Amino acid sequence: MKYIKILFFLIAIQISAQQGGMWIPSLLEGMNETEMQNLGSKMTAKDIWDVNSASLKDAIIHFNGGCTGEIISERGLILTNHHCGYGAIQSHSSVEHDYLKDGFWAMSEAEELPNPGMYVTFIKRIDDVSKEVFKGVTESMTAKEKQSKIDKNIVIVKKNAVKENWQEVKVRAFYKGNQYLLFVLENYTDIRMVGAPPTSIGKFGSDTDNWMWPRHTGDFSLFRIYADKDNRPAKYSKDNVPFKPKHFLPISLDGVAEEDFTLVFGFPGRTDEYLPAVAIEQTVKKINPAKINIRENYLKIVDEYMRADDKIKIQYASKYAGIANYWKKWIGENQGIEKSNAIANKQRLEVKFQNKVKNNSEYDHLLQDFDRLYKELDDVARARAYWTEVAYRNVELLRATVRLYQFEQKVTANPSSFESERDKLIKASKGNYKNYNAKVDRDVFEKLIEIYGTKIPATYLSDKLKNVNYTDLTNTIYTKSKLTNAEDFKSLLEGNQQEVLSKLNTDPAYVLGKNLSNDFFNKINPKFQAINLQIQDVQKVYMKALMETFPEERFFPDANSTLRVTYGKVKGYYPKDGVYYKPVSHLKGVMEKYKPGDYEFDVDQKLIDLYNAKDFGVYGENGKMPVNFLGTNHTTGGNSGSPAIDAHGNLIGLNFDRVWEGTMSDLNYDPEICRNIMVDARYILFIIDKYAGNKRLINEMKLVHPKK
């Protein structure tokens, strides 16, 4: 009964109207469909999602678990971002064969390059399984008991799911655990690299322009799905053939104008739109500053090495970009929260909420609970941030010790796994050492371990870091440890289990790392998780309470890496008083930013020639070549590579970023200032056709003129 009430409630909520939100594609009928049509869409909910016949969803894939991609030909051609294909482009590159620098264009299918480990996922069906998942869960249970019952039910639900034997199932919580959906999916694993522009196009503006408008980046790359003869998922084989999709996206040659309808379809990773003010305050005032400071130091050190040495530049390009990306995002997020008075606004909402629920004994204590729990979380959340950033994310040597620590735990508990665990370590280490430079890592370590040792709340400081001289510690570790190069690492792992573990436990890097890992896995994380579980329990009730208390508002479920639809319009914005940013940028802007020889803003001669000759083919517009455009679609990390789709279901752009003033959208979406950034589909075609001269790819696509 309770569940039915919630369900009605979710439906009722989807009926009021506004912008923003990331909606579940199988539940668009009703409010979302009307809203989309009011914004100019000519599509029905069924055109977007239809389990039984071809619909837009059949062209959308989760790309390698983190990004989105879309199918743009009947031969399984995938379009995604350059930064999503980056790891693959890098792994096929060397100083002699630098596809990052020069781009890569397969001139035939035979030249397309396999990528071991890469996979893409289609979503075939979505079922609401809330009723089954909540079966036997009662109010008298503790949070832990509830969760364990839910987990057991999920196992049963997954086992009973109707699916083909090559398909998989997944169950995910929505609305903070008030709703559960089951996904039936198909994973394809023979994915080949087809094309990528040089970094000077695909990553033009690099970290300086990242998260910014005006933007001029051709952030795209091309891959292809291969399948067996029955079009089913199959391991890599020479005999596999291009995958034949149920649907692929035609590409519009007509471009965009301000106010045009846009739909972005993809896999947003994570948002937290319904946090209480105390939580946002903690993130913005405590957690973000700690992480920003650590990364700032990492970036300064690595940047110097990269500028001085081409090999290090290739080795560290991907790592650097990854660290820089969120470093910059958190800075923007903090500024946005401050500027939009997000905390004060949440507090006002909470006063209103508290007034409305003051006689409701289920809800009246929620905000107090949050206050108490976030206070309790404060120290351990900061400790966790320091540990994660220093021991896991930024110092590679320490990350290696975490893997070794888990190895030691596993083989000690289960000695028969020794051989296979050791093999796994050796395999993983090959890739890691290929891109490892001990000098760089040493400098990073020295700086970061001191920050860790001086800033982490005292109760969480490891014995091994009490009263040490950080420079001496660094010297000892980086001269004596066997973890600083591939050969020593391999020799360290030679011998039987006892020998390996005893060698390991005398290695100075491991001795420190083990101490840090013990702190984390035995102290920091268990405490963090225990409090967090309680917070989640409160957050679940709070979510339900918000929806009941403010029935006039519309609530979408926070992003959780599942497939979502977000829609809006092409639109500029006012970044600050007196300034308006237009929604479309052009190739002219690339030339304005051009700095010969600069690694961020260099421009390839061929692109300059095309620009000077105004040789834009059918892709230009009034003698200009559009490059990027802005929309009001509500996106987040994971939406990279998502298609931007017009009112008729054609591809008009490729999502890749958001604007600086709006990066707070993960915590506080504001339609006035939050914008997503897309590459104009015509720029992509122009680069493939005019710049790379790759007609075979253009010929397999379907180019259309919906506006004519």
Q: Which is nearer to ligand ARG, 64 or 640 (CB)?
A: 640
Residue 210 interface partner, choices ligand ASP, ligand ARG, none, CB cut-off 5-8 Å depending on type = ligand ARG
Alpha helices in 236-365 (DSSP H): 277-282, 288-308, 310-339, 342-356
Q: How far apart are CA 450 and CA 439, in angstroms?
A: 17
The Cα 574–Cα 576 span in angstroms is 5
Which one of ligand ASP, ligand ARG, none is in contact with 203 (Cβ closer than 5 to 8 A by kind)? ligand ARG
Stretch that binds ligand ARG, among 203-211, 414-422, 483-491, 611-619 (CB under 6 A): 203-211
User: Quick check: 639 binds ligand ASP (CB under 6 A)?
Assistant: yes
Q: What is the dihedral of CA 251, 255, 259, 264, to 10 degrees?
A: 30
Check: CB of residue 532 under 8 Å from CB of residue 461.
no
462 is in the binding site of which of ligand ARG, ligand ASP, none (Cβ under 5 to 8 A by kind)?
none
Nearer to ligand ARG, 245 or 641 (CB): 641
Stretch that binds ligand ASP, among 295-303, 392-400, 403-411, 656-664 (CB under 6 A): 656-664
Q: Which residues contact 186 (CB under 8 A, 6 or more apart)?
A: 121, 122, 124, 166, 167, 168, 233
Q: Does 210 bind ligand ARG (CB under 6 A)?
A: yes
Of 57, 62, 75, 83, the residue at the interface with ligand ARG (CB under 6 A) is 83
Told to check if 33 binds ligand ASP by CB under 6 A, we report: no
| C-alpha count within 13 angstroms, C-beta hemisphere, residue 302 | 30
Taking the alpha carbons at both ends of the chain, their separation in whole angstroms is: 52
Element (H, E) at 223: strand 221-227
Q: Which stretch binds ligand ASP (CB under 6 A): 87-95, 227-235, 301-309, 633-641?
A: 633-641
- Give 484 or 628: the residue with its C-beta nearer to ligand ASP: 628
Task: Answer yes or no whether residue 635 interacts with ligand ASP by CB under 6 A.
Answer: yes
Work out whether 105 is an interface residue with ligand ARG (CB under 6 A): no
Give least dist CB 301 to ligand ARG, A.
Answer: 18
Please state, in angstroms and rounded to a whole number, the distance separating the CA atoms of residues 657 and 640.
7
Contact of residue 638 among ligand ARG, ligand ASP, none (CB under 5-8 Å per partner type): ligand ASP
Which 191-220 positions form the footprint of ligand ASP (CB under 6 A)? none
Is 637 among the residues that bind ligand ARG (CB under 6 A)?
yes
Within 650-669, the residues that bind ligand ARG by CB under 6 A are 656-657
Q: Out of 656, 660, 683, 691, point to the residue binding ligand ASP (CB under 6 A).
A: 656
Alpha helices in 481-614 (DSSP H): 486-492, 497-504, 508-518, 525-549, 587-593, 605-612
Query: Rounded to whole angstroms, what are the CA distances from 414 to 376, 411, 421?
Result: 36, 5, 10
Closer residue to ligand ASP in complex, CB, 429/636: 636
Contact of residue 23 among ligand ARG, ligand ASP, none (CB under 5-8 Å per partner type): none
Per the CB < 8 A criterion, the answer to whether 610 and 197 are in contact is no
| Position 98 contacts ligand ASP (CB under 6 A) | no
Q: Which is nearer to ligand ARG, 515 or 561 (CB)?
A: 561
Q: Is 689 in the site for ligand ARG (CB under 6 A)?
A: no
Give the one residue of 571, 658, 675, 690 binding ligand ASP; rule: CB under 6 A: 658
For ligand ARG, which is the closer residue by CB, 207 or 689?
A: 207
Residues 6+ apart with CB under 8 A from 500: 418, 422, 492, 493, 494
* Interface size with ligand ASP, residues (CB under 6 A): 10
Question: In this structure, what token pair is assigned to residue 184?
Answer: 């039936």
CB atoms near residue 11 (< 10 Å): 13
Token reading at 27: 């539940």
Partner from ligand ASP, ligand ARG, none contacting 64, C-beta within 5 to 8 A by type? none
Q: What CA–CA distance (Å, rounded) separates 509 from 397?
A: 7
Site for ligand ASP contains 637 (CB under 6 A): yes
Locate 86 and state its tokens. Answer: 């980056």
What is the CA 158 to chain-centroid distance, rounded? 26
- The catalytic residues are 83, 219, 640
Residue 91: partners with Cβ closer than 8 Å, 6 or more residues away: 115, 431
CB 398 to ligand ARG: min, Å: 23
What whole-number distance in Å separates Cα of residue 563 and Cα of residue 60?
A: 9
Angle at CA 450, nearest 5°, toward 447 and 454?
145
**Can residue 646 be called a binding residue for ligand ARG (CB under 6 A)?**
no
Tokens in use for 702? 């379907």
Q: How many other CB atoms sit within 10 Å of the CB of residue 343?
A: 19
Give the nearer residue to ligand ARG in terms of CB position, either 200 or 210. Answer: 210
Q: Which residue has the tokens 């033009």?
A: 204
Q: Residue 556 CB, nearest distance to ligand ASP (Å)?
A: 17
Fill in the amino acid letter for 543: M
CA pair distance 396, 439, nearest whole angstrom: 11
Instruction: Provide the 3-class DSSP secondary structure of residue 209.
Output: helix
Kindly report the backbone phi and psi dihedral angles of residue 435, in degrees, each rounded to the nearest multiple of 5, phi listed first.
-110, 30
Interface residue with ligand ASP, options 26, 130, 633, 640 (CB under 6 A) = 640
Q: Which residue has the tokens 């259309």?
A: 704
Site string for ligand ARG, 304-343 (x = CB under 6 A): -----------------x--xx------------------
Binding residues among 41-70 for ligand ASP as defined by CB under 6 A: 67
Return the residue of 69, 233, 513, 638 that touches ligand ASP, per CB under 6 A: 638
Angle at 682 between CA 262 and CA 86, to 5 degrees: 90
Q: For residues 607 and 199, what is the distance between their CA atoms, to the nearest angstrom?
A: 13
Residue 364 CB, nearest approach to ligand ASP (Å): 37
User: Which residue among 80, 437, 633, 636 contacts ligand ASP (CB under 6 A)?
Assistant: 636
Q: Which does 635 bind (CB under 5 to 8 A by kind): ligand ARG, ligand ASP, none?
A: ligand ASP
Total residues at interface with ligand ARG (CB under 6 A)? 13
Q: Which of 58, 657, 661, 689 is in the footprint of ligand ASP by CB under 6 A?
A: 657
Q: Does 593 bind ligand ARG (CB under 6 A)?
A: no
Contact 373, 531 (CB under 8 A): yes
Q: Which residue number, 58 or 657, has a Cβ lying nearer to ligand ASP?
A: 657
Task: Return the range that interacts with ligand ASP (CB under 6 A); candidates 378-386, 504-512, 586-594, 635-643.
Answer: 635-643
Closest C-alpha among 326, 224, 205, 29 to residue 598: 205
Interacting residues toward ligand ASP by CB under 6 A: 67, 635-640, 656-658
Interacting residues toward ligand ARG by CB under 6 A: 83, 203, 206-207, 210-211, 321, 324-325, 637, 640, 656-657
